[in-house]
């Protein structure tokens, strides 16, 4: 940016005719701008912001007519907009439309004179691991500020340079301090943070996020801060210690009743699979009446019931379905699970297990590969025979519980390019679905021995696929996921069964198989899709780097040299230390690894 500014100043001082004659000066200008773009690209990649506009756009598409106007025209929101240093916590139960309200608020702010360069926003998202941390929030807000203010961009660039030009990452504290400084330099800002209760995998709000929100509120009189969440106890306890009572606004079922009515009316009028009732006002009225009466302020509940009644082809069926509606979301999900065909249950639960516990978003093609694993025989089925003809039909194994969505920019970077052809992801249909399967009533079915089962499935898939074809990542989209994450699942195993052990032995020990595994996943360069040549590492190094205590023990018992040199970190001990695998570090030292090595 400094170079570009200098070049511009220099050109302005030169006579126009000389500039026109000087291709050299034009070349300098282009070079400076090109360097500036490259520099910005580097620090942006280092900052790693996510793209919340995908959440915003999706939520906007779900809004119907004047829904949310009760909030926009209400006293609490009007006060929040007008008062300096204001705060508003909007809370409500699962499925009541909080995210749609957040997008309604953002649209209202941008359409009423508050430019987007004065609006910062972030959506926590249970379905995207990249949108579940305070670090992601702060990085994203910093990037939003930098897009409209060169001073903020320069500040981020300076931080990038101070961290070895992007070779080291800043601490969370440094990022928060920089964001606070950038915010303080602005005249006025509106910040909207949605779904704070989704900021961690287990659904409870991270204390760091709540503490940060408090600091932003108290440290910035120029900020109007709004957050949404469910009324989780930790959030409520924290917020009520520093927010005024009038800054806490519950989403009452009565408040959203008109919004739900509008949603039902619009759905009946526009869904093709409800077209059979277009000339039956009595049926339409029955649908509106029954769903509105039982909704209890939950859009998600209504959406689930509509998915059920679309199958009603007679008025008698419709009448029966609407008179036997489930109570609440969990009873709704109970029914969805009970409707899964007996022949499909094993596959359906396998899909659900992966989506609930997956380490990153899963492409449609990766999820479809789950059907190829025969767990009883521990083999991979013939892909030409058993692969789904239409991958999108995978949702029919567990209808209503999963959904196909377009991949976001950050999700695409997490899902390896070789693993997705369509750019679509399979995910749980709603945050409440994940909670349902993790609750006591159903968790035993889904998570029992999950790590052991999935380690075995990953190993089975990788090993059998490697045996059949060297170009495994092209033939099997899920293979790269398995190659990387079977060690994560296997790391948590306390008692390793013989089947997992024997498959791990086959993967670690034969030279060809071991090399093929490292081509798909290099523990030293987990982000890379291609292996680094000339950096040899033995099996113990990889076991230590990936935290496999049980495999490290077995390799040492078989004579592996604990001080063998190789790999990016030099030896197994340094690799384990870099990754923080304390149990493996202790084992290696006990077995004679040199600490000073």
pLDDT at 522: 86
CB neighbours of residue 21 within 10 Å: 10
* Whole-prediction pTM: 0.77
Q: Is 398 part of any domain? A: no
Question: Which pLDDT score, from 0 to 100, does residue 367 have?
Answer: 92
Same-domain check for residues 28 and 98: no
Range of the domain at 209: 53-251
Is the model's pLDDT at 163 over the cut of 50?
Answer: yes
Pick the residue with more confidence: 522 or 420? 522
Residues 17 and 66 in one domain: no
In a domain, 279, yes or no: yes
Tell me whether residue 272 is in a domain.
Answer: yes
Mind giving me the DSSP string for 357-384? H-SS-EEHHHHHHGGGEETTTTEEPPHH
Closest by alpha carbon to 203, among 242, 229, 170? Answer: 229
Query: By three-state DSSP, how is residue 424 classified?
Result: strand
295-348 pLDDT tens trace: 999 999 999 999 999 999 999 999 999 999 999 999 999 999 999 999 998 889
Q: What pLDDT score does 7 carry?
A: 42
Q: Which of these three, 219, 251, 283, is where a domain ends?
A: 251
Shared domain for 294 and 183, answered yes or no, is no
pLDDT at 14 over 50: no
Instruction: Indicate whether 468 belongs to any domain.
Output: no
Nearest to residue 492, comparing CAs of 356, 349, 348, 357? 357
Contact 458, 369 (CB under 8 A): no
Q: Which of 304, 325, 346 is the last residue of a domain?
A: 325
pLDDT in tens, 36-83: 677 888 888 899 999 999 899 989 988 887 889 999 999 999 999 999
pLDDT tens digit sequence for 359-407:
788 899 999 998 888 877 778 888 889 999 999 999 999 999 999 988 7
Number of domains observed in the structure of the chain: 3
Residues 120 and 202 in one domain: yes
Same domain, 132 and 83: yes
**Whole-angstrom Cα distance, residue 490 to residue 494?**
9
- As a whole number, mean pLDDT of residues 75-104 equals 94
User: Is position 310 within any domain?
Assistant: yes
Residues 168 and 314 in one domain: no
For the segment 487-539, what is each residue's pLDDT rounded down to a tens digit?
A: 888 887 767 777 778 888 888 877 778 888 888 888 888 766 666 665 678 99
Q: Does residue 80 sit in the same domain as residue 184?
A: yes
Q: State pLDDT tens for residues 564-592.
A: 998 888 999 999 998 889 999 999 999 99
Same domain? For 142 and 223 the reply is yes
Task: Looking at the structure, tell me whether residues 122 and 173 fall in a common domain.
Answer: yes
Distances in Å between the Cα of 129 and the Cα atoms of 34, 46, 133 are: 33, 18, 8
Find the helix packing angle between 299-309 and 315-323, rounded to 10°. Answer: 150
Residue 86 has pLDDT above 70, yes or no: yes
Residue 127 has a pLDDT of: 84
Question: Is 74:101 a contact under the CB 8 Å cutoff?
Answer: no
| 191 and 263 part of one domain | no
Q: Are residues 7 and 28 in the same domain?
A: yes
CATH of the domain at 176: 3.40.50.300
- In angstroms, how far apart are the furthest CA atoms of the chain? 86
pLDDT of residue 203: 46
Q: Within this chain, do residues 42 and 65 fall inside the same structural domain, yes or no?
A: no
Q: In 10 A of CB 349, how many CB atoms? A: 17
Long-range contact pairs involving 269-278 (C-beta distance under 8 Å, separation at least 24)? 271/306, 271/310, 273/310, 274/306, 274/309, 274/310, 276/313, 277/318
Alpha carbon distances (Å) from 202 to 28, 58, 232, 328? 54, 24, 12, 21
DSSP string, 454-478: HHHHHHHHHHHHHHH-S-HHHH-TT
Stretch 126-142: mean pLDDT, rounded? 91
pLDDT tens digits along 469-482 = 767 777 888 888 88
Where does a domain end: 234, 251, 268?
A: 251
| Contacts of residue 9, Cβ cutoff 8 Å, sequence gap at least 6 | none
Average of per-residue pLDDT values in the chain: 85
Dump strand ranges (E) for 99-258: 119-123, 189-194, 223-229, 248-250
Across 111-120, 148-157, 222-231, 248-257, least confident range = 111-120
Q: Report the distance separating Cα 502 and Cα 560, nearest Å.
A: 18
The C-alpha atoms of residue 519 and residue 421 are separated, in whole angstroms, by 21
**Partners of 190 in the beta sheet?**
119, 224
**Confidence class for position 10, pLDDT limits 50, 70, 90:** very low
């Amino acid at each position: 940016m400094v170079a570009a500014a200098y070049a511009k100043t220099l050109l302005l001082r030169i006579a126009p005719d000389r500039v026109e004659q000087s291709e050299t000066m034009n070349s300098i200008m282009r070079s400076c701008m090109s360097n500036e773009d490259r520099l910005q690209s580097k620090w942006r990649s280092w900052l790693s912001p996510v793209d919340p506009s995908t959440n915003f756009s999706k939520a906007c598409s779900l809004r119907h007519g004047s829904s949310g106007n009760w909030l926009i025209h209400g006293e609490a929101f009007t006060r929040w907009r007008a008062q300096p240093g204001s705060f508003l916590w909007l809370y409500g139960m699962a499925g009541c439309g909080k995210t749609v309200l957040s997008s309604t608020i953002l649209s209202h702010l941008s359409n009423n004179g508050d430019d987007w360069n004065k609006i910062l926003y972030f959506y926590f998202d249970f379905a995207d691991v990249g949108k579940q941390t305070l670090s992601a929030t702060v990085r994203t807000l910093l990037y939003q500020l930098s897009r409209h203010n060169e001073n903020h961009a320069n500040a981020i660039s300076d931080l990038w340079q101070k961290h070895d030009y992007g070779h080291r990452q800043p601490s969370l504290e440094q990022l928060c301090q920089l964001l606070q400084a950038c915010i303080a330099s602005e005249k006025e800002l509106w910040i909207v943070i949605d779904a704070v209760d989704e900021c961690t995998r287990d659904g409870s709000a991270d204390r760091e996020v709540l503490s940060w929100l408090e600091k932003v509120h108290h440290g910035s009189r120029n900020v109007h801060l709004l957050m949404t969440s469910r009324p989780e106890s930790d959030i409520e306890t924290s917020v009520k210690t520093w927010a005024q009572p009038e800054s806490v606004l519950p989403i009452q079922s009565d408040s959203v009743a008109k919004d739900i009515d509008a949603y039902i009316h619009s759905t009946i009028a526009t869904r093709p699979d409800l077209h059979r009732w277009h000339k039956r006002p009595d049926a339409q009225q029955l649908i509106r009446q029954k769903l509105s009466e039982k909704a209890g302020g939950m859009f998600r509940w209504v959406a689930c019931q509509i998915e059920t009644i679309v199958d009603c082809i007679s008025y008698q069926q419709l009448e029966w379905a609407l008179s036997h509606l489930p109570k609440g979301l969990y009873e709704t999900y109970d029914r969805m699970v009970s409707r899964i065909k007996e022949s499909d249950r094993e596959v359906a639960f396998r899909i659900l297990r992966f989506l609930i516990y997956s380490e990153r978003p899963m492409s449609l093609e990766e999820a479809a590969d789950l059907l190829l694993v025969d767990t009883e025989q521990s083999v991979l089925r013939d892909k030409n025979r058993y692969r789904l003809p239409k991958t999108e039909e995978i949702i029919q194994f567990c209808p209503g519980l999963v959904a196909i969505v377009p991949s976001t920019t950050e999700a695409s970077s997490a899902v390896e390019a070789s693993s997705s052809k369509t750019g679509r992801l399979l995910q749980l249909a709603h945050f409440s679905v994940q909670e349902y399967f993790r609750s006591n009533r159903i968790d035993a079915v889904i998570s029992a021995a999950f790590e052991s089962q999935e380690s075995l499935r990953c190993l089975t898939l990788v090993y059998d696929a490697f045996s059949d074809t060297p170009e495994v990542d092209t033939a099997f989209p899920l293979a790269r996921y398995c190659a990387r994450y079977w060690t994560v699942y296997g790391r948590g195993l306390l008692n390793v069964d013989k089947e997992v052990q024997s498959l791990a032995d086959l993967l670690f020990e034969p030279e060809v198989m071991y090399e093929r595994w490292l081509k798909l996943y290099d523990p030293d360069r987990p982000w890379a899709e291609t292996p680094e040549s000339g950096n040899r590492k033995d099996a113990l190094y990889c076991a230590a780097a990936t935290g496999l205590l049980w495999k490290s023990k077995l390799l040492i018992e078989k004579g592996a040299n604990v001080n063998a040199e190789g790999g990016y970190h030099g030896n197994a001990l340094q690799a384990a230390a870099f990754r923080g695998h304390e149990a493996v570090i202790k084992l290696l030292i006990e077995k004679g690894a040199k600490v000073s090595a």
